[in-house]
Amino acid sequence: MFFYSNELATARRDFKQLVGLAVTSSPPCRAKLHLAQYSDDKFVVALIYPAEYDDEISSWLLAGQYKTSGAAEGGTGAVQRYYDYGPEILDRHQLFGKSDLVSRTGEDLFASLKLAVQR
C-alpha cells in the first residue's frame, strides 16, 4: 500500500504513525515500511508486504484507525511501479508480524534434550 503526500512533514507523520501502530499492535505479517521522495513535492509512505495478506493488512490498518490525508494506492502493480521508479528512500523500518509459533518453556526444552528431532 502506498500513501502519498505533497509535504515531507505530512509523510513523515504518516510514517511515524504506522511505526507506532506496529509497536502497539503487531501487523499480521512481516512488512517493509519506507518513507520515500519522488520529487520536491511528491512523497510516499510505502507499506510493502506479501500480496496474500491484503485482507489482513487492511483489517489491521482499520483496527488501528490509521488515517492519511493524501491519496492511497495498493496492489502488485503499484509495488512494481515503485521499484521501477526507484525513489530516494529517506527512512525505513522493518515490521515483524505476529508469530504463529508457541515458545516452549525451559521444562519442555529440558525434557526434550535427548530427542533426535526438535520442533
CA distance 53 to 51: 5
CA distance 109 to 119: 10
CA distance 64 to 23: 11
CA distance 92 to 94: 7
One pLDDT digit (tens) per residue for the chain, 119 residues: 999 999 999 999 999 999 999 999 999 999 999 999 999 999 999 999 999 999 999 999 999 999 988 899 999 999 999 999 999 999 999 999 876 556 777 887 778 787 777 66
- Rounded to 5 degrees, what angle do the CA atoms 65, 50, 86 make? 90
* Bridging pattern class, strands 42-48 and 2-5: antiparallel
Provide the grid cell at 102: 508457541
0.75 surpassed by pTM: yes
Distances (CA, A) of 36 to 54, 100, 113: 22, 31, 48
